[in-house]
């Protein structure tokens, strides 16, 4: 019989039990023992789900209090020395210190220890804690948690497959903290510890160890590629039975090597790399297990099981029991289950499969391959759902397709080149040199949140809600006026989230009630789902913006989220290319831009913080992505007159390698995060001679610290070394919604003072 398994399972729980337990523990409300009990119950429950779905193994090692990479930092005994741990802290307390740092006593000075840095796990919205390596880093088998979890699963009677992040991916994902250190040089010290772990697992009776090496899907430097064969030859001496797991990306030049490594099985992502299935089937020796990721672990759609079976049957014929089936990657990236989903209607639900439902799909495939008639009714139901989605009028809106097909060739071009627009905008707005502005949001106070929540549960009438939000807008506008800011914003009080706010008003989007996915630690997000052709039935922001503008003679920016960010932070259709969905969203945003312009809004900002994180994992497809992504942005922005000023904003990004494309977005003004890197980012913009106006953030909004006037002046002077004075804007790094009003006012007052002081010297 075909083996079915999963590379990993969501750890938060059906109702985010882990999140709530963690946060209670961090607030000191429940003990470590009580937290452990929640974790152990969740693991048991999730293994039970896997067994009931007919999986041949439960996967152990995918559970984490915060992050699975952090688990490995403890397991491998390489907690950074800078934390100064000693025997007085429990492993759990140390773990949370790694993840969350230690606050400084008074928030300003004192002993604080910053947490490990966090960064995106490949191209997902999950964030892992970055291992830190120094020349002194050593490794040892230092943590018992994995073995205890294996024992727990065995005690419950489950056959166990343990999962580890492989040694090369672990090193790759870390960061050198000693100048000149090459972290690959640590491999020789690391491998013996992996050897010990494998030996321990084998002694415990673990049948298979899944060794995740997702970096095999990246463009690796030669030394890293060459390190795989010797490393896995060393691991082979442990005699453990290894399944090498790759995902998220085709293996390409690493495929031959992956097939040859001395392991007993190879998992490939059949969704992201369908073109490699036939090659692997050919190259992977017949005595090895081929685990095919045939169910999409990155999206929420029901699989086309007929199509999957067509792929699987010949492989099954050829390999028999050495063909295993799994989701393409860990199910960590999809919500738990559709059961109890309250917000989706029955038809939408019938088109989807979350983690639990994906396991059932595996079972049906297994039964069908075995010729078991038990699969027939499930296959028929699946077929009907696929068909109904394909034919649905809720999905297909011919007007949207026609509009895209009929786009004029210059739809993504402004009427005039930047120089002419800049002249027209200078005349219209007559802004001072070094104009000051903010990025959009102002503090989201408890009152704002309470009003929004009350409105949502119908405890506040639409009229009262509108009045409450207008009061917030008026407050924000008055504050900005009194601070002397030049280009104002309305403050975004009415927005819960910058993507959800727009998704809720666009046709083609739907929302789950409980579709949470872990983003980092205890934080989960509930991404919107784009299920159909996108259009904008009516204006989304115009009334708020018009009201805000009525309160001031200064320009108030209209504030929108861009098409790529909306795409990137949603689950999107799998029945058409992402580029098409992006263009559809772009047209909807374009309609809003044009309506804002008609309503007299002269400056419109289209935020694209996610444009860089949308970059594909393989460089060879970057150009293609950037071409359609920048096209979509321009499509959204280019319907306006020359004297309407388009801004964009991006944060936390390294732009050096995509500057030509950022320039190709042709926004009149771009505001970016730079203060944490001391304006370093600007060198690239300067060297590239970035043509349009630019506002490098002059202070970090992630901290309550108030920057001094001198500090901001110094940063601005530094910026002036690379940016012509006529092109430089003055603004914070990002939106201010997570800050309180007192520090916000103080910081902005200093920002305006710095700009005013500098104007005198440069004028």
Whether 683 is catalytic is no
Choose between 11 and 490: whose C-beta lies nearer to ligand GLN: 490
Choose between 189 and 702: whose C-beta lies nearer to ligand GLN: 702
Choose between 492 and 595: whose C-beta lies nearer to ligand GLN: 492
Q: How far is the CB of 43 from ligand GLN (least distance, A)?
A: 34
Q: How far is the CB of 602 from ligand GLN (least distance, A)?
A: 18
Beta strands in 543-640 (DSSP E): 558-561, 603-607
Choose between 51 and 495: whose C-beta lies nearer to ligand GLN: 495
Cα separation, 477 vs 468, whole angstroms = 14
Cα separation, 102 vs 270, whole angstroms = 42
Residues whose CB is less than 8 angstroms from the CB of residue 176 and which lie 6 or more positions away in sequence, other chains included:
133, 134, 182, 183
Site residues for Zn ion, window 709-748 (CB under 5 A)? 734
Choose between 270 and 440: whose C-beta lies nearer to ligand GLN: 440
Site residues for ligand GLN, window 599-628 (CB under 6 A)? 607, 609
Structure tokens that stand for 61 in this block: 């090692």
Choose between 191 and 593: whose C-beta lies nearer to ligand GLN: 593
* Contact (Cβ atoms closer than 8 angstroms) between residue 524 and residue 530: no
Q: Total residues at the site for ligand GLN (CB under 6 A)?
A: 13
Q: How far is the CB of 314 from Zn ion (least distance, A)?
A: 49
* Contact (Cβ atoms closer than 8 angstroms) between residue 513 and residue 343: yes
* Contact (Cβ atoms closer than 8 angstroms) between residue 432 and residue 762: no
Site residues for ligand GLN, window 386-405 (CB under 6 A)? none
Picked from Zn ion, ligand GLN, none, the partner binding residue 639 (CB below 5 to 8 A depending on kind) is none
DSSP secondary structure letter of residue 389: H
Cα separation, 250 vs 248, whole angstroms = 7
Structure tokens that stand for 198 in this block: 């494998």
Structure tokens that stand for 3 in this block: 């083996």
User: Under DSSP, is residue 648 helix (H, G, I), strand (E, B) or coil?
Assistant: strand
Give bridge partners of residue 607 from the DSSP assignment.
561, 649
Choose between 59 and 437: whose C-beta lies nearer to ligand GLN: 437
Residue nearest ligand GLN, Cβ-based: 735
State which of residues 358, 421, 634, 649 lies at the interface with ligand GLN (CB under 6 A): 649
User: Which stretch, 8-16, 231-239, 503-511, 729-737, contacts ligand GLN (CB under 6 A)?
Assistant: 729-737
State which of residues 163, 281, 451, 498 lies at the interface with ligand GLN (CB under 6 A): 498
User: Which stretch, 49-57, 247-255, 471-479, 731-739, contacts ligand GLN (CB under 6 A)?
Assistant: 731-739
State which of residues 150, 737, 744, 748 lies at the interface with ligand GLN (CB under 6 A): 737
Residue 560 as a binder of ligand GLN (CB under 6 A): the answer is no
State which of residues 168, 651, 663, 747 lies at the interface with ligand GLN (CB under 6 A): 651
User: Under DSSP, is residue 719 helix (H, G, I), strand (E, B) or coil?
Assistant: helix
Handedness of CA 229, 234, 239, 243 (dihedral sign): negative
Reported as half-sphere exposure (CB side, CA atoms, 13 A), residue 268 has a value of 27
User: Tokens 């009149």 map to which residue?
Assistant: 668
Choose between 70 and 548: whose C-beta lies nearer to ligand GLN: 548
Q: How far is the CB of 735 from Zn ion (least distance, A)?
A: 6
SS3 for 78-109, per residue?
A: CCCHHHCCCCCCCHHHHHHHHHHCECCCCCCC
User: 369-390 burial, b if ≥16 CB within 10 A, otherwise e?
Assistant: beeeeebeebbeebeebbeebe
Q: How far is the CB of 441 from ligand GLN (least distance, A)?
A: 3
Picked from Zn ion, ligand GLN, none, the partner binding residue 607 (CB below 5 to 8 A depending on kind) is ligand GLN
Q: How far is the CB of 569 from ligand GLN (least distance, A)?
A: 10
Site residues for ligand GLN, window 435-464 (CB under 6 A)? 439-441
Q: Total residues at the site for Zn ion (CB under 5 A)?
A: 3
SS3 for 218-285, per residue?
A: CCCCHHHHHHHHHHHHHHHCCCCCEEEECCCCCCHHHHHHHHHCCCCEEEEECCCCHHHHHHHHHHCC
* Contact (Cβ atoms closer than 8 angstroms) between residue 749 and residue 483: yes
Picked from ligand GLN, Zn ion, none, the partner binding residue 559 (CB below 5 to 8 A depending on kind) is ligand GLN
Per-residue binding letters, 365-404, with Zn ion (x by CB under 5 A): ----------------------------------------
Cα separation, 307 vs 618, whole angstroms = 27
With both helix axes pointing from N to C terminus, report the angle between 145-155 and 32-52 in degrees, rounded to the nearest 10. 50
Q: How far is the CB of 671 from ligand GLN (least distance, A)?
A: 9
First-to-last CA distance in the chain? 80
Q: How far is the CB of 250 from ligand GLN (least distance, A)?
A: 31
* Contact (Cβ atoms closer than 8 angstroms) between residue 335 and residue 512: yes
Picked from Zn ion, ligand GLN, none, the partner binding residue 737 (CB below 5 to 8 A depending on kind) is ligand GLN
Give bridge partners of residue 325 from the DSSP assignment.
4, 292
* Contact (Cβ atoms closer than 8 angstroms) between residue 488 and residue 554: yes
Catalytic residue among 316, 475, 683, 702, which?
A: 702
Reported as half-sphere exposure (CB side, CA atoms, 13 A), residue 271 has a value of 21
User: Tokens 């280009």 map to which residue?
Assistant: 487
Picked from ligand GLN, Zn ion, none, the partner binding residue 43 (CB below 5 to 8 A depending on kind) is none
Of residues 239, 347, 333, the one with CA closest to residue 295: 333
State which of residues 292, 359, 364, 651 lies at the interface with Zn ion (CB under 5 A): 651
Q: How far is the CB of 584 from ligand GLN (least distance, A)?
A: 22
Per-residue binding letters, 475-494, with ligand GLN (x by CB under 6 A): -----------------x--
Q: Which residues are catalytic?
A: 702
Binding site for Zn ion (CB under 5 A): 609, 651, 734
Binding site for ligand GLN (CB under 6 A): 439-441, 492, 498, 559, 607, 609, 649, 651, 734-735, 737
């Amino acid at each position: 019989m075909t083996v079915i398994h999963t590379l990993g399972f969501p750890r938060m729980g059906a109702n985010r039990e882990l999140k709530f337990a963690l946060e209670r523990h961090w607030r000191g409300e429940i003990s470590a023992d009580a937290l452990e009990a929640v974790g152990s119950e969740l693991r048991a429950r999730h293994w039970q789900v896997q067994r009931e779905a007919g999986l041949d193994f439960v996967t152990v090692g995918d559970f984490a209090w915060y992050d699975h990479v952090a688990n490995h930092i403890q397991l491998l005994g390489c907690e950074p020395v800078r934390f100064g741990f000693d025997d007085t802290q429990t492993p759990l307390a140390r773990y949370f210190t790694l993840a969350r740092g230690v606050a400084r006593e008074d928030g300003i000075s004192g002993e604080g220890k910053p947490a490990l840095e966090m960064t995106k796990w490949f191209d997902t919205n999950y964030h892992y804690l970055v291992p830190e390596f120094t020349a002194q880093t050593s490794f040892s088998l230092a943590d018992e948690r994995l073995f205890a979890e294996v024992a727990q699963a065995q005690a419950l009677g489950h056959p166990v497959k343990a999962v580890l992040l492989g040694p090369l991916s672990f090193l790759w994902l870390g960061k050198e903290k000693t100048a000149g250190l090459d972290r690959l040089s640590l491999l020789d010290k690391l491998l013996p510890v992996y050897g010990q772990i494998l030996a321990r697992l084998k002694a415990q009776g673990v049948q298979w160890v899944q060794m995740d090496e997702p970096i095999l899907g990246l463009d690796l430097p030669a030394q890293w590629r060459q390190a795989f064969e010797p490393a896995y030859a060393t691991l082979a001496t442990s005699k453990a039975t290894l399944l090498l797991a790759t995902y998220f990306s085709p293996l390409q030049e690493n495929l031959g090597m992956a097939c040859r490594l001395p392991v007993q099985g190879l998992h490939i992502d059949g969704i992201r790399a369908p073109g490699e299935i036939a090659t692997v089937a050919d190259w992977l020796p017949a005595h090895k297990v081929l685990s095919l990721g045939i169910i999409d672990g990155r999206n929420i759609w029901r699989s086309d099981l007929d199509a999957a079976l067509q792929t699987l049957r010949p492989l099954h014929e050829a390999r028999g029991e050495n063909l295993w089936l799994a989701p393409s990657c860990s199910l960590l990236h999809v919500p738990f289950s559709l059961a109890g989903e309250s917000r989706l209607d029955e038809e939408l639900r019938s088109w989807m499969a979350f983690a639990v439902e994906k396991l059932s799909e595996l079972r049906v495939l297994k039964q069908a391959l075995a010729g078991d008639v038990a699969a027939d009714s499930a296959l028929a139901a699946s077929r009907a759902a696929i068909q109904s989605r394909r034919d649905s009028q809720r999905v297909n809106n011919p007007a949207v397709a026609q509009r895209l097909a009929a786009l004029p060739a210059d739809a993504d071009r402004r009427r005039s080149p930047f120089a002419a627009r800049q002249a027209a905008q200078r005349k219209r707005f007559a802004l001072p040199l070094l104009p000051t502005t903010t990025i959009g949001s102002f503090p989201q106070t408890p009152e704002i949140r309470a009003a929004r929540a009350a409105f949502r549960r119908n405890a506040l009438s639409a009229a009262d809600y509108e009045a409450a939000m207008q009061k917030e807008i008026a407050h924000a506008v008055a504050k900005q006026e009194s601070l002397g800011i030049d280009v104002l914003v309305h403050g975004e009080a009415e927005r819960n989230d910058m993507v959800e706010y727009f998704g809720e008003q666009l046709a083609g989007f739907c929302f789950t009630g409980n579709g949470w996915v872990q983003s980092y630690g205890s934080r989960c997000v509930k991404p919107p789902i784009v299920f159909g052709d996108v259009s904008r039935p009516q204006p989304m922001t115009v009334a708020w913006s018009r009201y805000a503008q009525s309160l001031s003679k200064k320009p108030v920016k209209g504030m929108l989220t861009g098409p790529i960010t909306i795409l990137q932070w949603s689950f999107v259709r799998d029945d058409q290319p992402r580029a098409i969905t992006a263009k559809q969203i772009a047209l909807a945003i374009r309609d809003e831009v044009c309506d804002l312009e008609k309503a007299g809004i002269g400056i419109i900002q289209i935020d694209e913080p996610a444009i860089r994180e949308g970059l594909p994992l393989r460089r060879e497809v970057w150009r293609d992505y950037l071409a359609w992504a920048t096209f979509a942005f321009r499509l959204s922005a280019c319907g306006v007159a020359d004297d309407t000023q388009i801004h964009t904003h991006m944060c936390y990004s390294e732009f050096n390698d995509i500057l030509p494309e950022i320039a190709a977005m042709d926004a009149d003004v771009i505001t970016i995060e730079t203060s944490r890197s001391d304006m370093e980012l600007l060198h690239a913009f300067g060297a590239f001679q970035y043509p349009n106006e630019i506002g490098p953030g002059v202070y970090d909004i992630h901290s309550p610290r108030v920057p001094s006037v001198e500090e901001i002046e110094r940063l601005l002077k530094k910026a002036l070394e690379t940016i012509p004075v006529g092109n430089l804007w003055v603004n914070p790094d990002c939106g201010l919604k997570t800050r309180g009003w007192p520090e916000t006012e103080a910081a902005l007052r200093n920002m305006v003072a710095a700009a005013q002081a500098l104007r005198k010297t440069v004028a």
